[in-house]
Amino acid sequence: MNNRIYIGLLLLIPLIAGCAVSNQNVPTPAAVYYPTLPQGVTTIAAAEKELALLLREVYAITYDATPQFPHYKVLKDFVEHSKPDLGMATKLYYFEGDRIMMILVNGISVSGTKLSLPIFSIFFEEMVGFPIKLNETQIELPNRVTITFPRNETGKAQKAADLLFFIQQNIAIHNQEKLAEFEKKAIEYRALRVKPPIPEEQRRYIVQANALNERKDYAGAIDMYIKAVEVDPVSYPAAYFNLALLSAQTHRFKLAIAYMKQYLLLEPEAQDARSGQDKIYEWELMIKK
């Protein structure tokens, strides 16, 4: 990646070779903390609520900007073209080895079933099987992403790690329950002789998703398609097919499989159903790599 990074309104702070980051809030290596299940938390919704409050305290996010990670394309575009509308980040550090750190103003947010990081989201489903751990106040997440709390907030960092661990341990059951609900809706949809029309709000999101996809803004297209199916989960089955392909494009193969399965539940006799199932087999192999 080009070391000359132009950030528009953001403040760029380059590192001097051989020197560490000067800000005192960045932790030094310490003993690893492995999270435990938090007391008093019994549902994912409750865990998400507590987590949302804690993540406002997140001080920095570090990304690996090498091509094998799903955030690479978005991060590369951000660095090359600058996106000053990114309100949360105020400084950008460029590390050797393509490690990039963003310093935040208002932390990060929890949105539905994902952590909404600047330029990139991590879906909770991606955490299944991932060993969440904490180095002092730095939580390691999938896709070589870390979030860092201020050095004096070890307690909050550990609590956040515990809540993420709770979500990780329960997300499979949560997803099974959601899938069971979706299967019922899919049966009802398949039984309809006249399929429901696409609501205007949903159409707007679909058009915007297609436009973003044409611009190769795959992360943006995914967000728009998700908004589209939130309006009505069954009126536009192709959204799930497109979500599957876009998720695979960004190396999120677990999500790609889940979306393709939803599409096949709605349209088992579609002309592309066979190719959709074959894609699932292909993505299952990619997960194992």
Rounded CA separation 59/134 (Å): 15
φ, ψ dihedrals at 66, nearest 5°: -90, 155
Domains of the chain: 11-169 (no CATH), 192-288 (1.25.40.10)
pLDDT, position 77: 72
Check residue 260 and give its pLDDT. Answer: 96
> What per-residue confidence (pLDDT) applies to 232?
95
For the residues of 63-128, what is the DSSP string, one character each? EE-STTSTTHHHHHHHHHH--TT--SEEEEEE-TTSEEEEEESS--EEETTEEEETTEEEEGGGGT
Residues 100/105/110/115 CA torsion (nearest 10 deg): 0
Cβ proximity of 91 and 11 under 8 Å: yes
Tell me the C-alpha distance between 115 and 250, whole Å.
16
**CA 223 to CA 132: how far, in whole Å?**
25
Closest CA to 6 of 107, 92, 79: 79
Residue 20: phi and psi, rounded to 5, are -85, 165
Residue 97 pLDDT: 63
Tokens 């990304």 — which residue? 63
pLDDT of residue 55: 92
Q: What is the pLDDT of residue 36?
A: 92
**CA end-to-end span of the chain:** 25
Predicted pLDDT of residue 244: 96
List of the chain residues with pLDDT < 70: 1-30, 81-97, 289
Of 106, 107, 110, 142, nearest in space to 46 by CA = 110
- Per-residue pLDDT at 262: 96
Neighbours of 152 (CB within 10 A): 10
pLDDT at 11: 32
E strand residue ranges, 157-273: none
Distance, CA of 193 to CA of 201 (rounded, Å)? 24
What φ, ψ does residue 42 adopt, rounded to 5°?
-120, -10
